[in-house]
Structure 1
Amino acid sequence: MTDIVILTPNPDDPSFAGQWPAVLERLVTVLAEGDLTARPEAWTDHIDSAEGLVAADVVLPLVAWGYHRDHARWMQACATWQAAGVRMWNPATVLAWNSDKSYLQRLGEAGLPVPPTLWSEQITPDQVDAAFDALGTDDLVVKPRVSGGGWQTTRLARGEALTETPDGPALIQPFIAALETEGELSLLFFGGRFSHAVRKRPRAGEFRIQQQFGGLYAPEPEPDPVALDLAERVLATVEEELLYARIDLARGPDGQWLLMEAELIEPDFYLNHAPDGGRAFVTAVADRLNR
């Protein structure tokens, strides 16, 4: 019998209590359909010691929600897991660097199309005021470098005051107008192979596409080949071997695809929109276990 550990949120954090059990159950169920047994462990129980994880066949951090609000301990945990040689997919090194959106700067320098971005160690009103002209836009988005689920993300029109300032390092980008119309395209990969795509649109009057803000999700049976090619180029820049990846794209003002996020820690796989119901994910896990 396999012993697969799925990392879950801090049990003392009530903000996710009504959501993560259903996500965990969906993952456990689809793995069980492939004769793979999984059990939960709170990631916050394994920060200083990996003793409770090293014996597992593999650790999947797929529901490790909340790390963005406890980032120092998350980085400590990643270092602990790496040093102990925990068999973790995706690797602990990826879990560390992918938790800070500054990786987008590195990918942009590698030639991948990312939104124009200004980086700040601490956002000030003067920085925001100057960003409109610097980025050539009348509509900005301000968000923390370490974030998740739209946390502390604010949209501002020129002349509008910033009322919620991100804690610590942050970034400023032009708002991508296409997000309000055609939305964002998520491309899912398991074991390096494309699985399925999902189109995500915000509800009327909202700019955020996350489901907690009323986002509308639908399968994209035939994603644009140009988008798929860009997603594969993004994955090719990652040195570590990945079990899974979700690449989120949106069209820029010129109609070309931009990389919004490379989600490599705990992305929703949208398995309810996968034509195979998630078998590609299970196959990828089994293949890695059987090496």
Structure 2
Amino acid sequence: MTICAYATFDGPDDERALVLAAWREAGIEGRVERWDDPDADWSAYDAVVVRSVWDYVDRRGEFVAWARRVGSVTRLLNPHPVLEANTDKTYLRELGVPIVPTHWSSRELPDWPEYVVKPAVSAGARDTARTADRAEAARLAAALEGAGRTPMVQPYLDMVESEGETSLVYFNRRFSHAVRRSPMLAPGATTEDNERAELRTPAPDQVELAEKVLTAVPHDLLYARVDLVRLPGGEPAVIELELTEPYLYLKLAPGAAARFAGALRELLETGG
């Protein structure tokens, strides 16, 4: 029997049971392990699958060191080099594809109608602010720099309120499904709104961009979520490439959990 660890955190995860059931159907025994449990024996597993490790943000160094250790004793999915690069959003500078315009400093901010300011190491909308005041945006970015964090200053894109964000989900580099996500910084948005999504058929230009992004990653990818928005000219751009702990919207897409389990089985049987 193949035994895999489902690496998580000490908190809620509403996809966990669905994934473990799908693994069981695929002949994989899944055991839940907290990623930072000092007593976990990671070498006892055929693979460790990184999932809801959503508390790593405040201790990224510890998380990256953990991933390196685990990857040295068993198969880690996604692999350590992917996790180390992907947990700092400065990776966006290296993608070589259109991204949301980003200014990486508190100095000489571009003249945009509205600004979104966030740290390069973050999850969700944590420590993220929206403002139409250029001086305030610079102050927020400077505060991040003062705390030793790299700021990201981006224009607020009105199109996300009508178009939304499109997230394309891939398992072992094969497209599974896509969703339209509600904008997290829209006026009046609530936590419930931010968690809401619906299935969407991505446009050909969105699929083309997402797959171009994935070809630039040379490692195994059990899962990937490519988050896209449209720029004012209508062209798609990457807002984030989620390769560490993305929510996968498995409940929305029939068969998605089974596809995820099948991708894991495939990678284990082929060695990549």
Contact 1:183–1:199 (CA under 8 A) maintained in structure 2: yes
Contact 1:202–1:215 (CA under 8 A) maintained in structure 2: no
Question: Does residue 89 of the first structure (1) align with residue 77 of the second (2)?
Answer: yes
Root-mean-square deviation (CA, aligned residues, Å) is 2.2
The CA distance in 2 between the partners of 1:5 and 1:186, in whole Å, is 26
The CA distance in 2 between the partners of 1:86 and 1:80, in whole Å, is 9
Q: CA deviation at 1:158?
A: 2.7
SS in 1 for 2:43: coil
The CA distance in 2 between the partners of 1:27 and 1:73, in whole Å, is 26
CA 1:186–1:199: 2 relative to 1, 3 Å:
same
Summarize the alignment of residues 32-43 of structure 1 with structure 2, pairs less than 5 Å apart.
32-43=24-35
Question: Does residue 284 of the first structure (1) align with residue 266 of the second (2)?
Answer: no
SS in 2 for 1:45: coil
Q: TM-score, normalised by structure 2?
A: 0.89
Q: CA deviation at 1:147?
A: 0.4
Q: CA deviation at 1:213?
A: 5.3
Q: Which runs of 5+ in 1 are unaligned?
A: 12-16
Question: Does residue 23 of the first structure (1) align with residue 11 of the second (2)?
Answer: no
Q: Which among 64, 83, 100 is matched to residue 88 of structure 2?
A: 100
The CA distance in 1 between the partners of 2:264 and 2:134, in whole Å, is 50
Question: Does residue 205 of the first structure (1) align with residue 187 of the second (2)?
Answer: yes
Q: Which among 174, 193, 196 is matched to residue 216 of structure 1?
A: 196
The CA distance in 1 between the partners of 2:18 and 2:189, in whole Å, is 28
CA 1:212–1:86: 2 relative to 1, 3 Å:
farther
Equivalent residue for 1:14?
none
CA 1:172–1:26: 2 relative to 1, 3 Å:
same
In structure 2, what residue type is equivalent to 1:189? Answer: Y
In structure 2, what residue type is equivalent to 1:101? Answer: K
Q: CA deviation at 1:138?
A: 1.2
Q: TM-score, normalised by structure 1?
A: 0.83
Contact 1:199–1:219 (CA under 8 A) maintained in structure 2: yes
Q: Which among 59, 70, 91 is matched to residue 70 of structure 1?
A: 59
The CA distance in 2 between the partners of 1:268 and 1:180, in whole Å, is 21
The CA distance in 1 between the partners of 2:122 and 2:192, in whole Å, is 15
Instruction: Say which structure, 1 or 2, has more relative contact order (CA 8 Å, 6+ apart).
Output: 2
The CA distance in 2 between the partners of 1:207 and 1:146, in whole Å, is 23
> In the comparison of the two structures, how many residue pairs are matched?
263
Question: Does residue 118 of the first structure (1) align with residue 97 of the second (2)?
Answer: no
The CA distance in 1 between the partners of 2:210 and 2:194, in whole Å, is 26
The CA distance in 2 between the partners of 1:39 and 1:113, in whole Å, is 39
Q: CA deviation at 1:249?
A: 0.2
Equivalent residue for 2:127?
152
The CA distance in 1 between the partners of 2:205 and 2:194, in whole Å, is 28
Contact 2:104–2:152 (CA under 8 A) maintained in structure 1: yes
Q: Indicate the percent of aligned positions where both proteins have the same amino acid.
A: 33
In structure 2, what residue type is equivalent to 1:205? Answer: P
